[in-house]
Amino acid sequence: MKFIAECGLNHNGNHDLTYELIRQASFSGADVAKFQLGWRDGKDEINNIQPDRIDSIINHCNYMEIDPLFTIVTDEAFKMIEPFKMEYIKIASRTVIENPDLIKKVLDSGYKTIISLGMWKGDELPFGTDDQIDYLWCVSKYPCLPTDLNFFPKDFISNSYSGYSDHTLGIETAILAISRGAQIIEKHFTLDKSDTTIKDHALSASPEEFRSMVQIGKEMNKLVNLGI
């Protein structure tokens, strides 16, 4: 299975902090360190990531032996990431609703694509099912409280979701998803849960929490694969 550390904007605009986030994500057992492109990315905004920074992030991920991944929110972000020839692209829930044409462009370009469906209300999956797409179940609330999980899947094995993007406090819901067959877990990742620069820190996992989630989750996944 695959564990994605969603570093997102938890660098607080201090882009040198991205390297420590990557380092700690690797030490915590994450398979992937993920960042966002095209969101709060103006010249003086917190997430102004340009191609030189993307190149540096990718190089540091390679050094730390963790896969880099980027969520793209805008057409401009897609143009910026294309020269880097990424294998995977991540799509956020809001893009499914606000810019489906961008997603079609990504799929037509042949990228393997991970799509969160926190805002999708349709009865059918928005872009069909094939080996190119992994859908993640999620709730687009930050934080997501237990009372928001009314439709949490009972079984990830027989439904069309490959995994779960978690916005809850703690790691328990992510582990619950693994016990029900989820093969991809995306969890926000922070070096300081008490940081108030952006609200994502509060719902993120610390390195210690992420490490526990990975260790328990991998053992849980073994049991699920045995049919227990």
Render 97-128 in DSSP notation, one character per residue: HH-HHHHHHHHHTT-EEEEE-TT---SS-TT-
Q: Encode pLDDT of 171-216 as tens digits.
A: 999 999 999 999 999 999 999 999 999 999 999 999 999 999 999 9
SS3 135: strand
144 and 193 Cβ atoms separated by less than 8 Å: no
Which run of H or E residues covers position 35?
Answer: strand 32-37
Is it the case that residue 75 has pLDDT exceeding 90? yes
Q: List, for residues 103-149, the tens digit of each pLDDT value.
A: 999 999 999 999 999 999 888 899 998 899 999 999 999 999 999 99
Residue in this structure with the two tokens 């990975």, named with its chain if needed: 214
Tokens of 97: 């609703």
Domains of the chain in sequence order? 2-225 (3.20.20.70)
Q: Is 6 helix (H, G, I), strand (E, B) or coil?
A: strand
Minimal CA–CA distance to 4: which of 197, 149, 205? 205
pLDDT surpassing 90 at residue 16: no
Query: d(Cα 187, Cα 190) in Å, to the nearest integer?
Result: 10
Q: Give CA separation, 159 vs 34, 86, 134, 182, 222, in Å.
A: 25, 28, 12, 10, 19
Contact 24, 204 (CB under 8 A): no
Beta bridge partners of 2: 184
Confidence check: pLDDT of 228 > 90: no
Burial class (CB in 10 A: 0-12, 13-18, 19+), 53: middle
Average pLDDT (55-65) is: 98
106: nearest Cα among 124, 84, 88, 131: 88
Could you tell me if 67 and 32 are in contact, meaning their C-beta atoms sit under 8 angstroms apart? yes
The yes-or-no verdict on residue 226 having pLDDT over 90 is yes
